[in-house]
Amino acid sequence: MDPERHRRISELFLQACELAPEARGPFLDEACAEDPELRVEVESLLAQEGDASRVLAGIDPGQGASAAAEALHPSQLPTLPGASAERSLPAGPLPRPFGRFRLLRLIGRGGMGEVYEAEDTQLVRRVALKTLLAAEGRADSAARFLQEARIAGTLDHPNVVPVYDYGIVDGTAYYTMPLVDGHSLEELIPFLHRRAQGAPPLFLEIPESWSDRVGLVLDWFAGALDGLEHAHEKGIVHRDVKPSNLILDSHDRRLRLADFGLARAPHLSGLTRAGSMMGTVAYMAPEQVRSDSGRIDSRTDVYSMGVTLYRTLLDRLPYEADTTAAYLNRIIAAQPDDPGRRGPGLPRDLVTILLKCMEKVPGHRYATAGALAADIRRFRRYEPIAARPVGIAGRLARWTRRRPAVAALAAGLMVAALVLGALARVNLRASAILRGQEIETSLRLANYALARKDHVDALARFGRAIELDPRSLDGRMGRAVVAVAQLAGDDPSANPRAALNDLDVAASIEPDLVSVHVLRGRLLAELGDPAGGAREREQAAQLEPRVALDFRLLGDTARAEGDCRAAIASYDRALADDPRLSLAALGRGVCYRALGDLPRAERDAAVASHLVPEDAHPHINLGNVLAAQGKFDEAFREYERALEIEPATALYHFNYGESLRASGDLDTAEARFRRALELDPRLAKAHNNLGYVLAETERLEDAVAAFRAAIAIEDGKATGKNPADYLVAYTGLCDVAVRARDLGQARESCGKALELAPEDPDGHYNLAALRMLEGDLDAALDSLRRDVDLGDRDFDYLLADSTFDPLHGDGRFQALVERMRTPNAD
Amino acid sequence: MPEPLQDATHCASKCAEGDPAAASQLLPLVYDELRGLAAAYMRQERPGHSLQATDLVHEAYLRLVDITRIDWRGRSHFLAMAARQMRRILVEHARERQAKKRGGDPLRVTLSEAVAVTSGPEPDVLDLHEALERLSRLSSRQSEVATLRFFGGLTDKEVGCALGISERTVRQDWKVARTWLARELRRTGPS
C-alpha cells in the first residue's frame, strides 16, 4: 500500500459515501473496473461505516462483514503460490474406493496434497490418508513424497503423529496416519485468547489466569519440542512447523507434531525443486525465505517453533506487513515486534527465549529443539534460563531505541520521575540480570526520593548505583535530573558541573538520547551559556523522530505572530526533516511572499500544490504569487482549480477578483467581488475592492456605498476589528470625495485615513489633492513632499492627475517630480 | 490602494503584542505542563477512573495562559501541539506500564471521540497509536487530523486552523481516518 493508492481509496470511499447504498455497487463497478483489489479496499471501508449499529446491537461485526473486511487475521496471511486450491485431484463423490481404502471425508487440502478421513478395509481402522496432488504427481515429486513417508514412518514418539504406511494407487502417491482426535493449535488460539465464538472443545480446560494459560501453552510446547528433537536426531527437518501442524490430542492432551509432508532429510535435498519456497510464509525462517537450502537444518525448525510460540502466546505474528512480499522482507530484515509492546505482557525471561528462537542467524538460535525445550522447562520451574545470550542487552537496546525518544525533560519533579522511570526500564532489566538486585533497589529508592523532592536522599542513592556500576545510565541521568531540579528551585547546593559530567558519561553509554541533550541544554543555560543551551536544544530536536511536525507548528506560530523570518527558519527545519511536509512548504511560501521574495514563494507554493493537489489552499497561494509577478494567465488557472475544489469560499473569489483587477479586467473582477459578497456579505475586503473597481469605472456613488459598507462591517465587530480594512475604506472614500469635489466628505475621510496610518504615502497624496481643491497650493506641496519622502515614486500618476495641473509650472513641484524619477532615493 | 491578495492560511491573525520569542519556548512548556498534569493525575489515580486526555490538554492551555502571561492568539496551534504531546505521553506511559507488569488493569484513558470510532469500549492507547502510525505512512494529514481530534478534542475549525487546511478537508479526512482506524482496530484488536 502506498500513499497514492490510499489517496485513491479515500477518494472513492468519500464519493461512494455520498451515494445511496444501492447506487454504490454500480459506481464501484465502473470506478474499479480494472482494479478489483481497489474495490475490495473501498468496500472494506464502506462495510466499516455501517458497522456501528450492528456492534451496538450485539452482533459480531466479523461474521456479517464482507469477505474483504475479513482476511486479515494472522492466520489468514496469504501463502505463496503452490497453495492454490484449484489443482485438486479429480474428485468423485465420497465415499469412494482408493486401493484398499475407502475415502470417507475430505479433511483438508494443502499446498502439496489432500487429506481424507479413510477406512483401511484390511486392518479395519480409520486413518488419515494424505495424497500427493495430481498436478504435482511428476516422478520426482512422487519419489520424494514416498521418501518422506518412509522417513516419517521411522519416527516413533508420543509427540509425533506417525506414518502407518505409504504407496501408490492408480498413479497417486499416498500415506496414512492415525486420525488424531483433537484440534490444531490454529483452532485453539482463539480460545486461549478468549476471542473465539462458542464454547471451547470439551476436553480443553482453559485456565482463568493469564499466567496459568501461559504455563499451559509452555507445557504443550515442551512436549512438542521433544517430538521435534526426536525427528532431528533422525536427521529429519520438519520445515513446516506452524500452528495448523501442531495437534492437541484430546485423549492424552499432548501437543503432537503432524504432517512431515514437507520434511526432508538433508541428504535428500537434491530432490527439492531448486529455489522453491514451500513453507508457510509467516512461520518461515530467514534462510527459508532466501531459499538458502544449504543452511536449512534443525535450527530452521527452532525458528518456526519460536514464531509459533510467539503467535500462540500473543495472538499475533512477530511482524506486521500488508503484503506477503513485505512480510518476507521483514522476516529477513526486521526485528520482531516487542512482545512486551501490548497485550498482557510476557515475563522477561520468556521474551528472551522467544527472541533467541527468532534470531536471524541460525547460529544465534538454540542449537536444537531439545535445548529449547530444556530452557522452557527451566522457566516453568522458576530456574534461571540458559539463554543469557550475548545478544540480549543489545536487543533490549535496539528495542529501546525504537521507542519514541524520551524528550524534553522538565524541571518539575514528578516529570523527572516519570522520565526516569522510562529510562530506568531498560537498565533495570539489564542490571537485574547482570549485576544483581542492589543497583535496581538503589535506583528505585532514588526515584522515589526524587518524587518526594528529597534531593539529598535522591543524590545519595543515585550515587550508590553509580558506585556499584559507574556506567549505570539511570544513575548518571538521575543525578543530572536532580541537579536540574535543584537549580529550578534555586537550591545553592546544586552542582551543575558534576551533572554535566554525568551526562557526558550517559552519552557515552547510550548515544542519541534526547533527554541527555535536553538536560544539558538546561544546565548550560543555568550556567550562563545560552548559546550552548540553544545548541543542545537543537540537537535534541534533531533526534526527535517527529521533529518535522513540531517545527512546522512552531513556524505556523511565528507566522501568526507576524515574525516571518523566524517562521521561515522553523519551516526550513521541518522541510529538511521531511521534504514532503506540504503544510510547511505552504507556510514558508506565504512567508516568502510577505517578505517579497516572489521566486521562492512561487517555488514553495508549487511544491505544496504538487504534494496535495486535492487541497485548494496551495492553488490559491500559487495563484497569488503568480499574479504578484504579473503572470496573470497562469494565476487564473490556479484560482480556477481552487474554485473547482471549493467553489463556495468567498475569499478565493476575492483573490481571483483582485488579480483580475490588477490585470486590468475590471468587468470580470467586479463579478468576482460580487460573487464573493453573495457568499459572504460581511467580507469587508470584497466591499473595499469592489469600491475601487467602481471608482475606477467612474461610478462614484456606488463606490462610496461600497466603502461605507466595509466601514459599517468593521464598526459592527465587537472584537477583531481590522485596521487595514478601515484604512483601505477611508483612503478609498477620500479618493472618491476628492474626485467628486466633495470637500466635506474628503476632509473627514482623508483625516481618518491619516489618523490610522500617518506614514502611508497615499494618505498624504490624497491630502495634497484636497489642499489643491481648497486652493492652498503651499500646503498641497508640503503634503506632496511628505508623500515622496515616504517613498511614492509613481510620477506618471502624479503628472496625469489633473488636480495638480496648476502646480506644473512651479519649480518646487518640478523638483519633486525629479526626485521621484530617481530610483531608490532612500 | 485596494486590499492586497489574501493568502489562504485560515490563521492569519497577527499577534500584535505577542512575544515572538515565546514561540521557541512553546514546545518544552507544553510538554512539561502536560507531563506534570498527567503525573498528578496518575498519582491520585483510583480504580475505575479514566484519564480524560482532552481535559488535560485544555487544562494545560488555561494554566499556561495564566502562568506565562503569553497571549496565545494561536490557540489552535497550542491545542494541536498539546494534543500531539498528550499522545506521546500516554504512549510512553502505557509502554512503561506494560514493561513494569504491575498487574491490574491498564491505565484507562478516555479519548475524545475514540468510542465513536470503535463503537465499543475505549481502544487501547498503544493499538490506536500504532494504527495512527500506519495511517500516517499512507496519509500523514489524515493521521494528524485524527490525532488532534482524539487527543486534543479540537473542533473541525481548530484542526483546520492548526493544519492550515479547510474545514471541508478536515471533515473529509476525519471521515476516512475514523473509518480506516475502525477497520484497523478491528483487525488487530484482541477482541
* pLDDT tens digit sequence for A514-533: 667 777 887 887 788 878 87
**Residue A187 C-beta-side C-alpha neighbours within 13 Å:** 14
Share of chain A above pLDDT 70, in %: 74
The residue among A465 and A785 whose pLDDT is bigger is A785
Question: Domain boundaries in chain A?
Answer: 3-71, 109-394, 403-544, 611-821
Task: Please give the backbone phi and psi of residue A680, each rounded to the nearest 5 degrees, phi first.
Answer: -145, 90
Which range scores top for mean pLDDT: A207-221, A259-273, A431-445, A544-558?
Answer: A207-221
The three-state secondary structure class of A776 is coil
Q: Which of A139-143, A434-438, A623-627, B146-150 has the lowest mean pLDDT?
A: A434-438
* pLDDT on residue A64: 28
Cα–Cα distance for residue pair A173/B75, rounded to 1 Å = 75
First to last CA, chain A: 58
* Residue A291 predicted with pLDDT over 90: no
Task: Please give the backbone phi and psi of residue A420, each rounded to the nearest 5 degrees, phi first.
Answer: -60, -40
Cα–Cα distance for residue pair A385/A354, rounded to 1 Å = 12
Kindly state the average pLDDT of the residues A783-811: 88
Mutate to test the interface with A, among B1, B6, B7 (most CBs of A within 10 A): B7
Contact: B35, A412; criterion CB under 8 Å: yes
For residue B118, the distance in angstroms to the closest alpha carbon of chain A comes to 8
Contact: A583, B165; criterion CB under 8 Å: yes
User: Same CATH fold, A403-544 and A109-394?
Assistant: no
Contact: B81, A553; criterion CB under 8 Å: yes
In chain B, residues with a C-beta closer than 8 Å to the C-beta of A17 are: 175
Q: Which CATH class is domain A109-394?
A: mainly alpha
* pLDDT on residue A719: 62
Nearest to B191 by CA among A612, A574, A637, A73: A73
Nearest to A84 by CA among A49, A111, A120: A111
Q: Which of A8-12, A321-325, B79-83 has the lowest mean pLDDT?
A: A321-325
Question: Domain boundaries in chain B?
Answer: 22-188
* pLDDT on residue A792: 84
In chain A, residues with a C-beta closer than 8 Å to the C-beta of B163 are: 583
pLDDT band at A213 (very low <50, low <70, confident <90, very high): confident
The residue among A152 and A726 whose pLDDT is bigger is A726
Cα–Cα distance for residue pair A684/A681, rounded to 1 Å = 8
Task: Please give the backbone phi and psi of residue A192, each rounded to the nearest 5 degrees, phi first.
Answer: -60, -30
Please report the residues numbered 362 through 381 in chain A whose beta carbons come closer than 8 angstroms to any beta carbon of chain B. none
The three-state secondary structure class of B33 is helix
Considering only CB atoms, B124 lies closest to which of A55, A342, A345, namely: A342
CATH for A611-821 (2.40.50.140, 3.40.50.920, 1.25.40.10, 3.40.50.720): 1.25.40.10
CATH superfamily of A403-544: Tetratricopeptide repeat domain (1.25.40.10)
Between β-strands A172-178 and A182-184, what pairing exists: parallel, antiparallel or unpaired? Answer: unpaired
* Residue A350 predicted with pLDDT over 70: yes
Cα–Cα distance for residue pair A449/A277, rounded to 1 Å = 58
Share of chain A above pLDDT 90, in %: 17
Taking the whole predicted model, whether its pTM rises above 0.80 is answered as no
Cα R_g (chain A), whole angstroms = 39
